[in-house]
Every structure is written in C-alpha cells, then in structure tokens.
Structure 1
Amino acid sequence: MAQDTSRGAEAPRRPYGLLRDQFQLVKKKDSNRYEIVPVEDTLSFEKGFFIVIRACQLLAQKNDGLILVGIAGPSGAGKTLFTVKVLNFVPSIAVIPMDNYNDSSRIVDGNFDDPRVTDYETLLDNIHGLKAGKSVQVPIYDFKTTSQTGYRTVEVPSSRIVIIEGIYALSERLRPLLDLRVSITGGVHSDLVKRVLRDIQRAGQDPEEIIHQISETVHPMYKAFIEPDLQTAHIKIISKFNPFSGFQNPTYILKSTRSSTDEQIKAILSEKFRETKEETYDIYLLPPGEDPEACHSYLRMRNRDGKYNLMFEQWVTDSPFIISPRITFEVSVRLLGGLMALGYTIASILKRSSHIFCDDRVNVKMDWLEQLNRHYVQVLRNLNRRTLSKF
C-alpha cells in the first residue's frame, strides 16, 4: 500500500494533541481513492464520534464521488444512536439501515441475525445506483409485522456521504465498497440490556423471549460472523451508553445496619399499616470479562415464592442515599442456562428473610441475610430526599 503525505492537519503525526492529528490518509492499493490508516486504540463514544466526523470530511476532500461509510457492531451496541448523532451534526448525509433489507421469507426459527436474512442484491443495487449519481428506492421494514411495508426515495446527498448501518455493515460483500469502516461494541452486559429494551419497544417482544433469542442465536451469530468483520474497522469504538440514564424517577433507598424494634417502626407509620413476611433468594451473576473484585454491574436473578425475576440495576451513591434505577422482568428459571451460555457465571446466592411494614407513604423492611449474618433496616419509597431523610 503506497503511503501518502495527506494527514489530518497537514503536519507530522504525533501521539498526542488534537483529535484530527491522530490519523492519516493513505491511497488504497490498486486504486486512486484514499482511506484512513486504522486507528490503533479503541475510542470512547464521544471521541470516536469526532474522529469519524473528521475522517468523513477529509475523505470527501480527497475522494471524488460517493463517500460510503459502514458502521457495524452487535445488536444493541449503540450503532443507531451513534448514526443519529452523526446525522444531527451533519444533516446533509444519507443513512441506510441494513435492517430495511431483511427478507422475512429467509428467516428460520425467528433468527433475524442470520446473515442470510439480508437481501444483499437489493442493497448492492441501491449502493451502485447512488454511486452512479441516481436516486434509489430503499425498502421500509416493520419489525412488528416482520415485513416490508413500502419504499422511500434516497437521493445522493449534498455532502456525498452515505452511511450503511447494521450488524453486517462491514461484511465481506460490502467492504470493497466502503471508504470508512467503523465498529461499535459495548460488551455483552450492556448490549444485553440495550437489546432487551430496544426489542420490547420496536417489536413488542417478551423480555424472556428476547434474552433466550440472544443466548441461542444472537451471541453465536456475533461470534461466528460479526466479530471477525469488526476487526477490519478503521475506527473501533467502545460504547458506554447507559440505558439507565433516561430514568427520571429513581427509587430512594435508606439502608442502615442499626437495630430497630417492631414498635419503633410501627410508631412512624399510619394506623392502617400492613405487615408481611417473605423469603427471597438472589442469584448474582458476574458479567463476562468482569473482575469480581471491581464489578459494580452484577445481574441479579431473584426467586420469590417460585417466581423468578431478572433485575438490571445500577447504583449511584450519594451518602446516605443509594439512587437505584432498576428494570425488572419476570422470567423462567430456564433463562439461567441461556445467560451462562453467554458467559455469565454465578458469583453468589444469598437468602434474604424480610419482615415488611408499609403504609401508603413508605415501605420499611427488616432484612436478615443468612450467608452474611447481617441485619438491615431498609426504607424505600418514591419520595423526595428531604421526606425520606426523616426516617
């Protein structure tokens, strides 16, 4: 591959400094077109965004015709979010999601992540049409009906930049056409949460069905077909997008190890309080690749009265409060095997015996954790911090 002197700032490359100085352009082999030298380090979501914008600008300056960008990654990694962010910054680009090229007649056992589902013939026809300067008809796909519902017209954008976004956007059939290859990953744990939330909203699927599908089809397909393609990316981005960040109504928990009697708790409640007892078993699952000493994002499967719930949770401490946005799905115990197939391991199983007092304002739990030999008093309610501080 012949080296070219074109650089991000027309200056010698250096390891530190402005983002635009951290990559350079080279000519493609047997071609007059330029591409960027692959960036060695993985980049954060924000840094990757600015690098991609700058790379697109430079490629548009050096190359004639259409600038084709492929953005790929596993389901739920943040590809669409990233693409929308780029589109908001450069409205004159065109975006073609590969999901629109799903052919429902090719779907086997509900596996939308099989590469054979993609209608590459239509996709490639559309790409070649745009490269020839023509407007094209891009299919519109409805995930709830699993069918194409029509077409939309896509014209060559004024920026000449077209983004192909999808799990197979860096596949072997597309790579020769791409001027810039971008991969986005987020780790199995965050990808799992985001995929579940996305498919509930988009396809109306049951949470357990989604997670079972991930363990049985999505993850194996990722390891076999997607992950190798991602290694060819010019720019590799790690998305730490937090699916809990949009929760506007956190639960405030006031937790204490001090000893309290039943009478003391009853004294702060209304006369019509309710009193119950329950036992729960919490199975804590360590996400793949996480250090058990440093992990703060254990997945919890809770068994109460024979019913299982999968709990996605993130804690933010602001002493004496733990702000705990939480998502809970009812599942079957069979799901545990699917999660372990994804690489989760059982870190601990804790038995919790609870004596609960509650009224219309507040819920007070006296917890006994058998394995830890500890008592806790826990106060929780969707109250403001000032009100909760009185307990």
Structure 2
Amino acid sequence: MLTKSRKITPVPQTLRRTQTQPCLVIAIAGLSASGKTTLAQDLREELNAPLIQMDDYYKDIPANTPVESLNWDDPEMFHLSEWREHLEALAQGQTVQIPRYDFCTSLRSGSRTATPSPTIIAEGQFALHPNAIPDHHCINIFVELDIEAAYSRRLQRDTTERGRTPDSIQTQWENHVIPAWQNWVEPSRLRADLVLSGNANRLQNLQRTRQIVEKMRASLAYLR
C-alpha cells in the first residue's frame, strides 16, 4: 500500500473531466504475475477511477468439464467483445453492469454497477488484444517482467492464496501461460504507448503513468 506521506498529489482539477471532455481509458496488459494488477489498483486509488478487470469476463464453463482440459490463458476463454462494448459504453457516459466471475463454480455470479468517470482503468493480460481495445481515447500500457521472476511470483501467489500445488502450477505455466505469452501477450507490447517494468518502484510506475495521462488530457484539450 502506498504510504500517505509519499502519495502523489491528486490530479489537478483542470485535468479532471468536464461534461464536454472525453473520457480516457487506461488499458493495462502484461504477462501473468507481472505486476499489472498492482498498477491498476494503485491507479484506481490515485485517480478515483473504476477498475474493470478482464478476469470477470471469462466464459461460463459447463458442469463436469475436466479441470485439466481448461486453458485459462487463451483469449477464446473470454468474452472480449462484451468487454470492449462495456468499456466503450462507460466512455460514452453510460452506466454498465459489470459481471462478477466465480472461479469456484467457473460461472458468473451476479454483477456490479460501474458508472461513468473521467478515467476508466481496464486490466487483463489480453487488454491490448486487437479484439479488446475499445474504439475510444485509450492509453495502452504494457507491464513487462522476465519469465523467471513472473513464474516465481505466480508460484508464491498460487500456493499461498489459491491452494495450488507446485506441480500443477508448473504444468499450467509450461503448457498454457508460456504459449499465451509467446502468441498473444508479448506481441501486444507493440501496441503499448508506455512500457513499465514490473520490478520498478510502484510510485515510479504510478508517476510515469500520471505523466502520460496529463499529456493526453492536454492534447485532447488542445484539439477541442
């Protein structure tokens, strides 16, 4: 958690959205366990913006489907078009019902209400996939981290927080995560406006993102 004494000052009022200012979508992608969720949560707190996470857009899995047959790291497992439509609707000033996904049942379990905001944060490893990027003013961010460090983080996270065994984590990493990174995640880096290191100081990444947001706001104001 960011300490109060070191927190970046709030976004100036002149940079906040008025009724005629366009909304900005900050899309954050990267390898699993790279640090993209941490950045997204820091931005949510800093900008007081809604956070839309791609994990809530997984498709429902039919009952009795063998767990070992599922590849959670495939773009086809997500409702990418619905994700994009919801981001575009929010950016256009509409209220949207965001799904909630229950990983215990592999089904949606209700929804939550997201209301329009000057900035929307969208986070997921496929957030920069061609079918996921909204047709709107968007800042694309890619969080990079070397494979070994990301695997170490995921191993620690999934064994302590999700009750996974090291063998199952390694199998999923080698058979699903790495192919997804090679085929879709790493190539999406080319669409990024800003590349951040998952090993960098959190405040440093937050400030670099804040700078590009301010530049984009200034550019949009100039074009009005």
Q: Considering the TM-score relative to the shorter chain, is it more than 0.5?
A: yes
The alignment status of 1:142 with 2:102, answered yes or no, reads yes
Letter in 1 for 2:22: G
Asked if 1 retains the 8 angstrom alpha-carbon contact of 2:100 and 2:111, the reply is yes
The structure 2 residue matched to 1:174, chosen from 129, 132, 136, is 132
Corresponding residue of 1:206? 165
By how many angstroms is 1:124 displaced? 2.5
| Shift in CA distance, 93/135, structure 1 to aligned 2, threshold 3 Å | same
1: distance between equivalents of 2:122 and 2:191? 16
Cα RMSD, aligned residues only: 2.8
Corresponding residue of 1:77? 34
Corresponding residue of 1:86? 43
Corresponding residue of 2:220? none
The structure 2 residue matched to 1:164, chosen from 122, 139, 145, is 122
Asked if 2 retains the 8 angstrom alpha-carbon contact of 1:144 and 1:203, the reply is no
2:120 match: secondary structure: strand
2:191 match: secondary structure: coil
| Shift in CA distance, 210/237, structure 1 to aligned 2, threshold 3 Å | same
Q: Which runs of 5+ in 2 are unaligned?
A: 1-7, 202-224
With normalisation by structure 2, the TM-score equals 0.73
Letter in 1 for 2:106: T
Corresponding residue of 2:113? 153
Corresponding residue of 1:10? none
2:70 match: secondary structure: coil
2: distance between equivalents of 1:203 and 1:143? 10
The alignment status of 1:217 with 2:173, answered yes or no, reads no
The alignment status of 1:96 with 2:52, answered yes or no, reads yes
**What are the equivalent positions in structure 2 for 1:1-391 lying under 5 Å apart?**
64-90=21-47, 92-105=48-61, 109-157=69-117, 160-175=118-133, 176-240=135-199
2: distance between equivalents of 1:86 and 1:216? 32
Q: Relative to total residues, which structure has the larger helix share, 1 or 2? A: 2
By how many angstroms is 1:184 displaced? 0.3
By how many angstroms is 1:59 displaced? 9.3
By how many angstroms is 1:58 displaced? 6.1
| Shift in CA distance, 202/99, structure 1 to aligned 2, threshold 3 Å | farther
Q: Percent identity?
A: 25
Letter in 2 for 1:155: T
| Shift in CA distance, 198/142, structure 1 to aligned 2, threshold 3 Å | farther
2: distance between equivalents of 1:72 and 1:59? 24
Count of residues in correspondence between the two structures: 186
By how many angstroms is 1:238 displaced? 1.1
2:26 match: secondary structure: strand
2: distance between equivalents of 1:194 and 1:140? 25
Asked if 1 retains the 8 angstrom alpha-carbon contact of 2:22 and 2:137, the reply is no
Letter in 2 for 1:127: L
Asked if 2 retains the 8 angstrom alpha-carbon contact of 1:143 and 1:203, the reply is no
By how many angstroms is 1:76 displaced? 0.4
Letter in 2 for 1:162: I
Letter in 2 for 1:223: Q
Q: Which runs of 5+ in 1 are unaligned?
A: 1-49, 243-391
Listed one character per residue, the Cα deviations across residues 178-204 of structure 1 (whole Å, up to 9, x for unaligned) are 520000011111100111223335543
| Shift in CA distance, 195/59, structure 1 to aligned 2, threshold 3 Å | farther
Q: Relative to total residues, which structure has the larger strand share, 1 or 2? A: 1
Asked if 2 retains the 8 angstrom alpha-carbon contact of 1:75 and 1:191, the reply is yes
1: distance between equivalents of 2:197 and 2:78? 25
TM superposition outliers: structure 1 runs of 4+ over 6 Å: none
1:105 match: secondary structure: coil
By how many angstroms is 1:83 displaced? 1.1
